[in-house]
Amino acid sequence: MRQSKLLIKTKNKNYSIFVGKNITNNISKILKEEKIKFNKCLIIVDKKVPKSSIYKIIRKIKSKLKKIIFFNSSEKNKNINSVNKILDLLFKENFSRDDCIISIGGGITGDVVGFAASIFKRGIKFINFPTTLLSQVDSSVGGKTGVNNRYGKNLIGSFNQPDLVLSEINFLKSLPKRELICGYAEILKHAIIADKKKFLFLEKNKNKILSLNGDVIQKTIIDSCTIKKKVIEKDEKEKNLRKVLNFGHTFAHSFEASLRYSKKLNHGEAVLMGIKCAVKFSKKINHIPENDAKRIINHIDSLKIKKLNDFFNLKHLETLIKFIKIDKKNKSNKINLILLKKIGKPDINSNYNVNTVKKFLYNELN
Ligand code: GLY
């Protein structure tokens, strides 16, 4: 399969996402086609990415000055100090707005670099090479950038669309299965909120996707990005519709936060558990046909990840509720949940009393 290209059109910027095997061989051609020029570039590389693939890319980027920072990506290092280190180097080397910063790494690296790009002299060019499945199907699309602070995750940030995204499929080969399932969680989320056909495709092709079957994985990444594109083009700044991308995430964030972002539960696993909760909640209030709910839950169970009760019991109820209450989507005292009327028909405007959500979780944990 040839490389695929998707054009994202937002109010302030249009940019392309390229997906394919060996696309990094064509960097010069793509930069020329996309009319992206710079004299200096700073490349921030996630230390987790295999060095062999990194140097191949770096050699292919033509620039009068090339600087490299190796970044130890983690939620702990996703902070303002890491942004400052990037900014300092840009100032020291006298970068201008016409120069470029490039991220090669997963979602954390992309978020930190994208944020630095948005605030350096009010905006420098930004190219993203997402190297994980999660970042290729989700965080590299749509321009959310930012860092954590002691009050929570991603509380400092900006909407900064990149100038170009290059999703090289070969990067995915080095990822453990658990990391691939993490990306698959967002692929599944996109399919469920988009339409039944996309969900049926996943039911049929889950194993091919997770074993990185060439054409299937490329189609899946592009399809997933296309679903997100349609949402963010209508609502870039999450005023309303973009909230749909939080399907399963209200619960997921509370699971991750309650475990203090322990590596025992990664983001995708929390999202899969969160989707199950959102589906069960939808069923409880008669939003979703029994068969749709069953199919989603069976699909998630077939991934054989750990379950809610492997991490939590009734002792954790208050902590979970505490984190659900501080979700960014909530207004007044109600909890905003993204629910499902049927596969492909999400409901973004359901608000519930804390006690209703608590009662639901009580039953799940019991
Ligand atoms: N990952 C959710 C969003 O980009 O809005």
78 alpha carbon – ligand 1 mean position (Å): 17
Question: Which residue's C-alpha comes closest to atom 3 of ligand 1?
Answer: 245
User: Exposed (0-12), middle (13-18) or buried (19+): which is 135, by Cβ within 10 Å?
Assistant: buried
Task: Calculate the CA 285 to chain-centre distance.
Answer: 29
For 237, the token pair is 């700044």
pLDDT band at 192 (very low <50, low <70, confident <90, very high): very high
Q: Which of 136, 139, 188, 328 to mutate to test the pocket of ligand 1 (most atoms within 8 A of CB)?
A: 139
- CA 157, CA 118: separation in Å to the nearest integer? 9
Q: How far is CA 89 from CA 93, 110, 113, 144, in A?
A: 6, 17, 13, 23
CATH number at residue 42: 3.40.50.1970
Q: Is the pLDDT of residue 176 over 90?
A: yes
Mean pLDDT of 291-310: 97
Task: Output the pLDDT for position 345.
Answer: 96
Residues 73 and 154 in one domain: yes
Task: Output the pLDDT for position 215.
Answer: 92
Residues 92 and 238 in one domain: no
- Last residue within a domain, chosen from 172, 194, 219: 172
> Which of 246, 273, 280 has its CA nearest to residue 259?
273
pLDDT band at 150 (very low <50, low <70, confident <90, very high): confident
Mean pLDDT of 269-297: 95
- Last residue within a domain, chosen from 138, 172, 206: 172
Q: Is the pLDDT of residue 1 over 80?
A: no
144 alpha carbon – ligand 1 mean position (Å): 7
Atom of ligand 1 nearest to the CA of 186: 1
Q: What is the 3-state secondary structure (H, E, C) of 148-161?
A: EECCEEEEEEEECC
Residues 260 and 334 in one domain: yes
For residue 29, give the 3-state DSSP assignment.
helix
Residues 251 and 312 in one domain: yes
Residues 253 and 160 in one domain: no
Mean pLDDT of 9-26: 94
Instruction: Please give the mean pLDDT across all residues of the chain.
Output: 95
Pair type for strands 164-168 and 335-342: unpaired
Q: pLDDT tens for residues 23-77?
A: 999 999 999 999 999 999 999 999 999 888 898 899 999 999 999 999 999 999 9
Q: pLDDT tens for residues 91-129?
A: 999 999 999 999 999 999 999 999 999 999 999 999 999
Mean pLDDT of 18-23: 95
138 alpha carbon – ligand 1 mean position (Å): 7
Q: Which residues pair with 102 in a beta bridge?
A: 43, 127
- As for ligand 1, residues whose beta carbon falls within 6 Å of it are 138, 142, 144, 242, 245
Q: Which of 246, 267, 271 to mutate to test the pocket of ligand 1 (most atoms within 8 A of CB)?
A: 246
Q: pLDDT tens for residues 241-282?
A: 999 999 999 999 999 999 998 999 999 999 999 999 999 999
For 332, the token pair is 């007044």
Q: What are residue 99's phi and psi, to 5 degrees? A: -85, -170
Task: Output the pLDDT for position 152.
Answer: 82
Residues 188 and 136 in one domain: no
Q: pLDDT above 90 covers what percent of the chain?
A: 89
With beta carbons less than 8 A apart as the criterion, state whether 167 and 141 touch.
no
Task: Output the pLDDT for position 107.
Answer: 97
Edge-first strand listing for the sheet containing 164-168: 4-9, 14-20, 164-168, 125-130, 100-105, 40-46, 65-71
pLDDT band at 331 (very low <50, low <70, confident <90, very high): confident
Residues 181 and 166 in one domain: no
Task: Output the pLDDT for position 286.
Answer: 80
Atom of ligand 1 nearest to the CA of 242: 5
Residues 159 and 269 in one domain: no
pLDDT band at 199 (very low <50, low <70, confident <90, very high): very high
Mean pLDDT of 163-191: 97
Q: Which domain holds residue 316?
A: 177-365
Mean pLDDT of 338-360: 95
Residues 15 and 121 in one domain: yes
Residues 204 and 344 in one domain: yes
With beta carbons less than 8 A apart as the criterion, state whether 227 and 193 touch.
yes
Q: How many distinct structural domains can be found in the chain? A: 2
pLDDT band at 327 (very low <50, low <70, confident <90, very high): confident
206 alpha carbon – ligand 1 mean position (Å): 22
139 alpha carbon – ligand 1 mean position (Å): 7
Residues 184 and 156 in one domain: no
pTM above 0.75, yes or no: yes
Residues 341 and 197 in one domain: yes
Task: Output the pLDDT for position 52.
Answer: 84
CATH number at residue 251: 1.20.1090.10
Mean pLDDT of 233-240: 95
62 alpha carbon – ligand 1 mean position (Å): 32
- Last residue within a domain, chosen from 172, 202, 221: 172
